[in-house]
Amino acid sequence: MLKSDIFQRSSTDSATVSGATYNLVIGLVLCWGFLVNWVIVREVNTVWLVNINPWVFFTFYFASCIFGVYLFNKYEEPAISFIGYNFVVVPFGLVVNLVVSRYQATLVLQAIQVTASVTVTMMLVGTLFPRFFQAIYAGLVVSLLGVLAIELFQIFVLGIHSNWIDWAVAIIFCGYIGYDWGRANQIPMTIDNAIDSAAAIYMDIINLFLRILRILGRRR
pLDDT tens across 155-167, in order? 889 888 889 999 9
Q: Is residue 79 part of a domain?
A: yes
CA distance 130 to 157: 39
161: left (phi over 0), alpha (psi -120 to 50) or beta: beta
Let me know how many helices (H) and strands (E) the chain has, helices first: 8, 0
Q: Is residue 85 part of a domain?
A: yes
Q: CB–CB of 170/215 below 8 Å? A: yes
Q: What confidence score (pLDDT) does residue 95 get?
A: 95
- Residues counted in the chain: 220
CA 182 to centroid of chain Cα atoms: 15
Q: Is residue 62 part of a domain?
A: yes
Q: Is residue 3 part of a domain?
A: no
Share of the chain above pLDDT 90, in %: 81
Q: Is residue 12 part of a domain?
A: no
Q: What is the mean pLDDT of residues 130-144?
A: 93
Of 214, 118, 97, the closest CA to residue 172 belongs to: 118
Of 19, 3, 7, 4, the closest CA to residue 187 belongs to: 7
The number of folded domains in the chain is: 1
Q: Is the pLDDT of residue 149 over 80?
A: yes
Q: Is residue 160 part of a domain?
A: yes
Answer whether 0.85 is exceeded by the pTM. yes
Helix axes 130-153, 163-184, angle to 10 degrees: 150
Share of the chain above pLDDT 70, in %: 97
Q: What is the DSSP string of 164-183?
A: HHHHHHHHHHHHHHHHHHHH
At residue 11 the predicted structure's pLDDT band, cuts being 50, 70 and 90, is: confident
Q: CB–CB of 8/200 below 8 Å? A: no
Q: What confidence score (pLDDT) does residue 12 get?
A: 80
Q: What is the DSSP string of 80-93?
A: HHHHHHHHHHHHHH
CA distance 144 to 136: 12
Residue range 12-34, pLDDT digits in tens: 888 899 999 999 999 999 999 99
Q: Is residue 5 part of a domain?
A: no
Q: Is residue 23 part of a domain?
A: yes
Q: What is the mean pLDDT of residues 97-102?
A: 93
Range of 135's domain?
A: 17-219
CA distance 21 to 193: 12
Start-to-end CA span in the chain (Å): 29
